[in-house]
Amino acid sequence: MQLKKIDKVAKKWKIKNFQTYGDYMAKVENENKDKKGKLVLVSAMTSNKIGIGKTTISIGLADALNKIGCKTMLALREPSMGPVFGIKGGATGGGKASIAPSDEINLHFTGDFHAVAQANNLLASIVDNHIFQGNQLEVDTNNIFFKRCLDINERSLRRISYKIGSETIDTGFDITAASEVMAILCMSKDLDDLKNRLANILVCLDKKGKPLYAKDFKAEEAMTLLLKEAIKPNLVQTLEGNPALVHLGPFANIAHGCNSVVATNYALAHADCCVTEAGFGSDLGGEKFLDIKTRLIEKTPDAVVLVVVVKVTKEHGNGNLVKGFENVAKHIENLREVYNRNVVVAINKHADDSEEDVATLLDLCKGQNVETAVCEAFAKGGDGCVDLAKIVKTISACPKQMQYAYDLSESIKDKIKNIACKVYGAKRVVYSEKAEEKIKLAKKFGFDKFFVNIAKTQFSFSADKDLLGAPKGFEFEITDIELRSGAQMIVAIAGNMLLMPGLGKKSNYLNMTVDGSGHIEGLF
């Protein structure tokens, strides 16, 4: 399918202020206009290593909504080169439900991830230089919280140690998608908000135990300068020529899993409907979208699409589809009972799914009294999601009052408990000594009313990746806490989750080739 020049896409959608990056990509100016569109969140059941296909269904749904006369714009995350070269490969959809130009989007795109890493690492460098130049602020080098970042899976950088004069610094790298600067950029509504959030990053403690922030090192102006273009959403298109705002990319298992506030608000202001996705399952990106992002954009989803796959459902039941459906049922229950959302199930049909299994899954969904559509976005594009689009359009017309898993006025532990018990199904939460100490610091510094972002495995409701289905009554352990005052977020790390992944034995980079003309194969 022939792509349209991006200026033609912009003109058709009455987008006036944009800057092209070649023929098929552009950045649009951040505009704080009134929101008018319906908001549709695409989430999923608990994933396996290959994924559920949320992005493919999101793209197919947006194309289908446009086909039935509902002017719809996508708001998606940018791919990180960690999973691109790791297990999952590219993240631009698949088959006929893709966004383009996919190679550029999956690689360097417009440089947003690079800008995030540079701004992040500049702050780390400024702090090191301050210590080297005499340490006027009396930084306690044993209590530096802020880490460097890199957009590649690199386990050897999880922990590093180096000397500045006689001082030894023990620190490490996070992957860029999990960095606080990425979270801040995603959560900021404009440049002033961005600068203020950057200024309030907790960097370290001084030797008297008092907090030192980025503003104490006078770092926020230079950091904002590096991010002034990165805060602008990127405009690309689906293969059917519909607009997609693809902007920033925090992971949902170790970060908050949602694209930027500015991109989502832009889509809501320029279309009748905004289709957006949140990473991994509804217990991860879905929970964080509902409990965090909706409060930032002051808009709740008019409909939530839960993507389900036959093969993955079977995996949750050790080969038994009916048993595995317990996982799907728990996600439906959460979205309905915890958050009071309108839910529709999208069965992402694969070519090798048997008709019998698809029919069984439809019957199981019918037993939950939930609207369901079989989708073939990969094979048919928008045509494969028309039934889903019709259901989404109907239920979006009947909005409900949003409920939250926790109230912001609650204590940090109560917020974590509410998520773990209500959403995951845990019996109780336990804390390591390190986590307890960090929570005490958070209360001392006035961070106890922040959002909570739980970092846990994407493969289970629990913190144990091997505990499949819909486990109940388990103990949920918080092993560490990260204090992110710029993002106004407490990151609670569950189990052995790491904020810097590593490459696997059979990573996707092994499948990639590029010929003499620059043509790429195997990227996704």
Sign of torsion, CA 90 91 95 96? negative
Beta bridge partners of 18: 28
- pLDDT, tens digit, for every residue of 378-418? 999 999 999 999 999 999 999 899 999 999 999 999 999 99
Nearest to 338, CA basis, from 291, 399, 409, 404: 404
User: What are 233's two structure tokens?
Assistant: 């959403």
Q: Is the pLDDT of residue 523 over 90?
A: no
- pLDDT, tens digit, for every residue of 330-371? 999 999 999 999 999 999 999 999 999 999 999 999 999 999
Q: Is the pLDDT of residue 112 over 70?
A: yes
Task: Report the 3 state secondary structure along 262-319.
Answer: HHHHHHHHHCCEEEEECCCCHHHHHHHHHHHHHHHHCCCCCEEEEEECHHHHHHHCCC
pLDDT reported for residue 226? 98
Long-range contacts made by residues 481-484, C-beta under 8 angstroms, separation at least 24? 481/434, 481/435, 481/438, 481/439, 481/442, 482/145, 482/438, 483/145, 483/202, 483/438, 483/441, 483/442, 483/445, 483/447, 484/180, 484/183, 484/201, 484/202, 484/450
Sign of torsion, CA 7 9 12 15? negative
- String of DSSP letters for 21-37: SSSS-EEE----PPP-S
Q: Which domains does the chain have, with CATH numbers?
A: 6-111+230-396 (3.40.50.300), 112-227 (3.30.1510.10), 412-494 (3.10.410.10)
Cα-based angle 337, 339, 341 (whole degrees, multiple of 5): 90
Mean pLDDT of 484-490: 97
CA 324 – CA 336 distance, rounded (Å): 20
Q: Is the pLDDT of residue 1 over 70?
A: no
Cα-based angle 320, 475, 180 (whole degrees, multiple of 5): 100
Mean pLDDT of 437-445: 97
- pLDDT, tens digit, for every residue of 83-110? 888 876 778 999 999 999 999 999 999 9
Report the percent of the chain where pLDDT is more than 90: 89
160 — phi, psi (to 5°)? -135, 160
What one-character DSSP code corresponds to residue 165?
A: T
Cα 428 to chain centroid, rounded? 26
What one-character DSSP code corresponds to residue 233?
A: P
- Write out the H or E segment, with its range, that includes residue 139: strand 139-144
- String of DSSP letters for 439-498: HHHHHHTT-TTSEEEEE--SS-SSS-TT--S---SEEEEEEEEEEETTTTEEEEEETT--
**pTM of the prediction?**
0.95
pLDDT reported for residue 505? 85
pLDDT reported for residue 380? 97
- pLDDT, tens digit, for every residue of 225-263? 999 999 999 999 999 999 999 999 999 999 999 999 999
- pLDDT, tens digit, for every residue of 38-51? 999 999 999 998 88
CA 327 – CA 317 distance, rounded (Å): 9
**How many CB atoms neighbour CB 88 within 10 A?**
18
Nearest to 242, CA basis, from 68, 52, 429, 111: 68
Beta strands in 360-450 (DSSP E): 371-375, 426-431
- pLDDT, tens digit, for every residue of 168-203? 999 999 999 999 999 999 999 999 999 999 999 999
CA 63 – CA 97 distance, rounded (Å): 8
Is residue 271 within 8 Å of residue 242, measured between CB atoms?
A: no
